[in-house]
């Protein structure tokens, strides 16, 4: 087994390396003067099972090109099998035609990864499950629900006080999987989206009066949706509101928006490298997903079942 890290999240790659007790492959992933990506693998990978760890987060296009060129370099170096380990899969929100003359970018990106030479993909909490079908190669979609549910259980020991909340109708299945693990009740925020990145809360489905509410979602981008939902829950009588999210994109003024909101805390995995501003944000906390990804990598390398990690 070989582990190759791109530049998108080197801290996570090192944590996965430490978990597996496998050193990161020596490589140079740099830029030419005009910002073209330049990759050199500095050790022999012929006949090896190589895992490329690279989230396609901001800057999305740069990190995606790094991943593609790393895969191409490994393919031309005669690696036996190449697995693209993408803790966060960028462009996942463009997974269908939402209007006339619009792209399905998630399918385009999956084609690029496949044509570059990847033999399989390992990712976590895809925005929509059907994206697995966009790949013509084996694709494992890890779930963060067991990881985050354990953290919720540690911080909310009384399930009768707890209410898991989906911030929109589309996330009900995701939130329900956490609620069932915790034996907690479920509420739903009826969100109406007026445009990309813009949403309004219309109704709250469920009685949140006096409950400690936990919003559960896969992505926080600008933070408007979660912060609006948290305010609506407080207005509806919730005693406190926290949020658990898999992927912390945190674009624009998201961190400032979270700090100024009624949220007690925002808990995220480290699938995306934390921006420097998040380290000093009082309401933001991270839970490492390195052990989950590392165990999945080990199971793939040993040809063992990955689905057992979903239990």
Active-site residue set: 191
CA Rg value for the chain: 20
Contact 224, 199 (CB under 8 A): yes
Q: What is the DSSP string of 278-308?
A: HHT-TTEEEE--HHHHHHHHHHHHTT--SGG
Tell me the torsion sign for CA atoms 23, 27, 33, 36.
negative
Residue 241 per-residue DSSP state: E
- Return the half-sphere exposure (C-beta side, CA atoms, 13 A cut-off) of residue 302: 10
Q: Is residue 16 a contact partner of residue 4, using CB atoms and an 8 Å limit?
A: no
Pairing outcome for strands 240-248 and 266-269: parallel
Rounded to an integer, what distance in angstroms lies between the CA atom of residue 107 and that of residue 24?
A: 30
In terms of Cα–Cα distance, which of 228, 225, 282, 213 is closest to 251?
Answer: 225
Check whether the bond before 95 is cis (ω within 30° of 0): no
- Residues 164, 165, 169: CA angle, nearest 5 degrees: 135
- Residue 148 in tokens: 């985050």
């Amino acid at each position: 087994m070989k582990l190759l890290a791109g530049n998108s999240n080197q801290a996570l790659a090192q944590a996965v390396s430490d978990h597996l007790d496998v050193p990161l492959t020596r490589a140079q992933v740099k830029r030419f003067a005009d910002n073209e990506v330049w990759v050199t693998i500095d050790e022999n990978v012929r006949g090896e099972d190589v895992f490329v760890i690279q989230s396609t987060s901001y800057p999305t296009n740069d990190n995606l090109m790094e991943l593609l060129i790393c895969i191409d370099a490994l393919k031309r170096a005669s690696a036996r099998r190449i697995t693209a380990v993408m803790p966060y899969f960028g462009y996942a929100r463009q997974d269908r035609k939402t209007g006339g003359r619009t792209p399905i970018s998630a399918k385009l990106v999956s084609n690029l990864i496949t044509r570059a030479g990847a033999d399989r993909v390992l990712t976590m909490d895809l925005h929509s499950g059907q994206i697995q079908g966009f790949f013509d190669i084996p694709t494992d979609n890890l779930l963060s629900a067991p990881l985050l549910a354990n953290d919720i259980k540690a911080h909310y020991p009384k399930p009768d006080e707890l209410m898991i909340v989906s911030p929109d109708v589309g996330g009900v299945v995701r939130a329900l999987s956490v609620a069932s693990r915790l034996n907690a009740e479920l509420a739903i925020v009826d969100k109406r989206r007026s445009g990309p990145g813009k949403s309004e809360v219309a109704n709250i489905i469920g009685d949140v009066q006096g409950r400690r509410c936990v919003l559960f979602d896969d992505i926080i981008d600008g933070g408007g949706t979660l912060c609006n939902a948290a305010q609506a829950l407080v207005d509806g009588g919730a005693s406190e509101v926290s949020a658990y999210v898999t992927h912390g994109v945190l674009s624009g003024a998201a961190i400032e928006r979270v700090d100024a909101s009624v949220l007690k805390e925002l808990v995220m995995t480290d699938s995306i490298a934390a921006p420097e501003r998040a380290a000093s944000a009082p309401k933001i906390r991270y839970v490492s997903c390195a052990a989950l990804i590392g165990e999945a990598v080990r199971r793939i390398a040993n040809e063992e079942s990955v689905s057992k990690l979903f239990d």
